[in-house]
Amino acid sequence: QQPVQSPQAVILREGEDAVINCSSSKALYSVHWYRQKHGEAPVFLMILLKGGEQKGHDKISASFNEKKQQSSLYLTASQLSYSGTYFCGTRALDGTSYDKVIFGPGTSLSVIP
Amino acid sequence: NAGVTQTPKFQVLKTGQSMTLQCAQDMNHNSMYWYRQDPGMGLRLIYYSASEGTTDKGEVPNGYNVSRLNKREFSLRLESAAPSQTSVYFCASLSSGADRNYEQYFGPGTRLTVT
């Protein structure tokens, strides 16, 4: 079952912060975050493998609450280059292969000057 | 290192025609995937292969078949194309996780239109 992402879309001014949420109805082994620019392939941002794990990549960080099957992506002091669609991918602890990665519908983020 | 390559980049088919989308990776990854992307629907998993010789259905497998020819190649076949299969198709491979990375690498995509 596809994870749920919120919000669907967000518009920011340069320098503002944003949070993108991802939740699943299934217990999760890992959460993956990707960014896709228009007309391009998704690009890996980070992976979170265990509960409470937080990762950072420049001014983009993420957390994973495995008890709630939720992950959040934090973008601070946004830059124009952050614009794109953000996807979370999940691997579930439901007896299927750990290699099965299912993606959410995406969150469109636009950063304006 | 070419990463993940896909052919063709663009294709137009008539309803009922068949075709095979090719994908290859040169990173020695075990797992490979086929996704389709439609506006507002995100990336939906069609089929995946956890290792050479194995394939499993994803979320939307109907109308497709796959073949894991060897460790490098994973092809997707549309036996009788339908307009509902108009989409962008992405192939991906997953790093092994020896360094706890588990990053998926995506190919550039194939834009398929079925008329």
Could you read off the pLDDT of B90-114 as tens digits, one per residue?
999 998 765 556 788 999 999 999 9
pLDDT recorded at residue B25? 96
Is the pLDDT at B48 greater than 90? The verdict is yes
pLDDT recorded at residue A56? 66
CA distance between the termini of chain A: 37
Cβ proximity of A76 and A17 under 8 Å: yes
Name the strand (E) or helix (H) holding A108.
Answer: strand A107-112
Give mean pLDDT, residues B69-91: 96
Cβ proximity of B60 and B85 under 8 Å: no
pLDDT recorded at residue A43? 93
In Å, how far from its chain's centre is CA A19? Answer: 9
Q: What CA–CA distance (Å, rounded) separates B50 from B81?
A: 26
Chain B residues with CB under 8 Å of A97 CB are 48, 50, 56
Give the position of tokens 């962008």.
B88
pLDDT recorded at residue A93? 81
How crowded is residue B79: how many other Cβ atoms within 10 Å of its Cβ?
12
pLDDT tens digit sequence for B26-46: 999 999 999 999 987 799 999
Contact B38/A at CB under 8 A? no
Q: Counting beta carbons within 10 angstroms of the beta carbon of residue A30, is it exposed (0 to 12), middle (13 to 18) or buried (19 or more)?
A: buried
Is the pLDDT higher at B22 or at A56? B22
- Looking at the DSSP bridge assignments, the partners of residue A84 are A109
Tell me how close the Cα of B93 comes to any Cα of chain A, in angstroms: 10
Tell me how close the Cα of A45 comes to any Cα of chain B, in angstroms: 9
pLDDT recorded at residue A53? 62
For residue A27, give the amino acid letter.
A
> Percent of chain B at pLDDT above 70?
94
Those residues of chain A that have pLDDT short of 70 are 50-56, 95-96
Give mean pLDDT, residues B57-79: 96
pLDDT recorded at residue B2? 77
Residue from the list B48, B56, B104 with its beta carbon closest to the beta carbon of A44: B104
